[in-house]
Amino acid sequence: MNAFRKCLRGIPVAPLVLAWSHALPTAPLPKKEPLDAILDVSPGLLASFVRGDEQFRRVFTISDGLGPLFNQPSCETCHPGDGRGPPISSLTRFSIGGDPVLELGGPQQQDRAIPGVEPKSIPAGAETSVRTAPAVLGMGLIVGIPVATLLALEDPDDLDGDGVS
C-alpha cells in the first residue's frame, strides 16, 4: 500500500477519481438500508439487539446506577452512531511499568464522578496514552453467528494465506 501511495503523491485526486469512475459498471448499486445486515436473524435475536441498542443510547442517571466514577453517562456519547468516537470524547489509559495498577483505578482514567465523589486522577509516574473509542457497529450481532461457523473458519496459522489468523 505504501508503494501505491508513493505513486499517487502529487497527482490531483479529482481527475484520478473521475478517470477511475469511468471504468466502473454503469448499473446502479442496490440501495442498502442500515438494518439489511440483520434481516436474516431470528425475531428473538433481533428483539434482543433492539433492546441492547436502546440501552446503548440511554443516558444514565445516578438513580439508574451511574457512577460513582464514569467517563460519559451513555455508551453512545463515546461511540456516536455506533461509530468511532470523536477526539473530544477521548480517554486516557495508564499503567506503571506495564502494570494496569487496578488498585490505583487503572487502566483507564475515569475523569467524571457523581456529586460527592472525586474523579480518579492519574498516579504520579504513570505512563499514559490517549485513546479514541472504537467503532462498535454490528458488534451486538456477533452473537448471531453460530459457534460452529466460527470454529469452521478457524485458521490460527493462516494456512489459507489470506492474512487473517
Highest average pLDDT, of 17-21, 94-98, 141-145, comes from: 94-98
Q: What is the average pLDDT across 1-29?
A: 38
Residue-level pLDDT at 39 = 55
The larger pLDDT score, comparing residue 46 to residue 160, is at: 160
Quick one: pLDDT band at residue 1, thresholds 50, 70, 90? very low
- Cβ-contact 61, 73 below 8 angstroms: yes
Lowest pLDDT segment from 79-88, 93-102, 119-128 = 79-88
- Domain boundary assignment for the chain: 40-141
Residue 132: pLDDT over 60: yes
DSSP label at 31? P
Which residue has 506503571 as its cell numbers? 96
CA distance 125 to 97: 9
Average pLDDT, the chain: 76
Any residues with CB less than 8 A from the CB of 55 and at least 6 apart, and which?
75
Residue 113: pLDDT over 60: yes
CA distance 133 to 83: 8
- Report pTM: 0.57
CA distance 165 to 156: 5
